[in-house]
Structure 1
Amino acid sequence: MKRFPRTRARGAGHGKVPACSAGFTLLELMIVVAIIAILAAVAVPSYTKHIVKTKRVAAQACLSEHANYMERYYTTNLRYNEDTSTPAVPNPLSGATPAMTLDCALRTSADYQYRLTAVALKPSTYSLTATPIGAQAARDTTCGTLSLDQAGTRAPATAGCW
């Protein structure tokens, strides 16, 4: 004789459901939630660290693009700080509010988190800086402000910053 699992009757119009109905217990749900919390605790800091590094690399690339512009400017004018016209016009990348902004430094480019400035422009030297702003400033405490000069000297010299 074939045995069937026990069933209990449900409300009118419904079929019979096995007595041991399928479902999750509260303990099983809590274990799943705990596993997800542990995975999130590991994944979120790792993801944040990756985002900080990605934005720093973008700033390094932009500093290199600015350095390339400065070298082209020097090739044309034989100086970094101003052109050779009369009266001399300052380099468009210099000053607190530069007259020209390179594409890599536009605010619309990929959630940019650095302020780029050309400081200490002299006839034969320059220094470019990328200062972190917003969340990047709070998260990137290891490297902070990046700089590059006419000799290719990069700062900070901390491992992993360049």
Structure 2
Amino acid sequence: MKRIQGFTLIELMITIAIIGILAAIALPSYQDYVRKSRRSDGHAMALKIGQQEEKWRANNPAYSKDFSTLNLSATAGTLTLASENGHYTMSVHANNDASCSGDLATDGNRSTAYCIKAVAQGRQSADTTCATMYYKIQNGNTSTTPAACWSR
């Protein structure tokens, strides 16, 4: 008697179900990992801007909100700048409230404080936890919010 080889329909359905369950668990985890890794784009740019702000402030009476004066943009009057990989839009504001909404050019604290705001763009905007990150300087002290976005 000749033996029949191959998969039965039940075996095939079980295999597909197992693959589906694994994909349902793995895909969201992978997407979360990718979003977290893209945060480093915003972190690196915020630190670069902070470094340039400190260089500027060493020779000037106040911090600057114009990226061209910080040697980060060739266009004078540039007030927003994309991060290196384009996942965040960066801007510099007065550090006068929790949301960094003040205008650095007119704020009275502009000689001692500033805030770098990173707003997620494109696919990174799905990172609802860290859609907006802040890097704040006040009298030489730094703070970052939300804290979960800056931890390792």
- TM above 0.5: yes
**Residue 83 of structure 2 corresponds to which residue in structure 1?**
105
User: How many percent of aligned residue pairs carry the same amino acid?
Assistant: 34
Q: Which runs of structure 1 show a deviation greater than 6 angstroms over 4 or more consecutive aligned residues?
A: none
Displacement after TM superposition at 1:57 (Å): 2.6
Contact 1:131-1:145 at 8 Å conserved across structures? yes
Mapped to 1, the partners of 2:43 and 2:65 lie a distance apart of 25
Q: Which amino acid letter does the alignment assign opposite residue 133 of structure 1? A: Q
Query: Does 2:129 match 1:155?
Result: no
**Residue 98 of structure 2 corresponds to which residue in structure 1?**
none
Q: How does 1:8-19 map to 2 (within 5 A)?
A: 19=2
**Which whole-Å deviations, capped at 9, do the CAs of 1:46-65 have from their partners, x for residues lacking one?**
00110111112321222111
SS at match of 1:150: strand
**Which whole-Å deviations, capped at 9, do the CAs of 1:68-111 have from their partners, x for residues lacking one?**
1111111232421389xxxxx965669xx62896xx823xx3xx
Normalised TM-score (structure 2): 0.71
Mapped to 1, the partners of 2:71 and 2:31 lie a distance apart of 35
Q: Structure 1: which 5+ residue stretches go unaligned?
A: 1-5, 7-18, 84-88
Q: How does 1:19-98 map to 2 (within 5 A)?
A: 19-81=2-64, 98=78
Count of residue pairs the alignment pairs up? 130
Greater C-alpha radius of gyration: 1
Normalised TM-score (structure 1): 0.67
SS at match of 2:116: strand
**Greater per-residue helix proportion:** 2
Task: Note closer, same or farther for the CA distance 1:100–1:57 as it changes in structure 2 (3 Å cut).
Answer: closer
Q: Which amino acid letter does the alignment assign opposite residue 23 of structure 1? A: G
Q: Structure 2: which 5+ residue stretches go unaligned?
A: 95-103, 105-109
Displacement after TM superposition at 1:147 (Å): 0.8
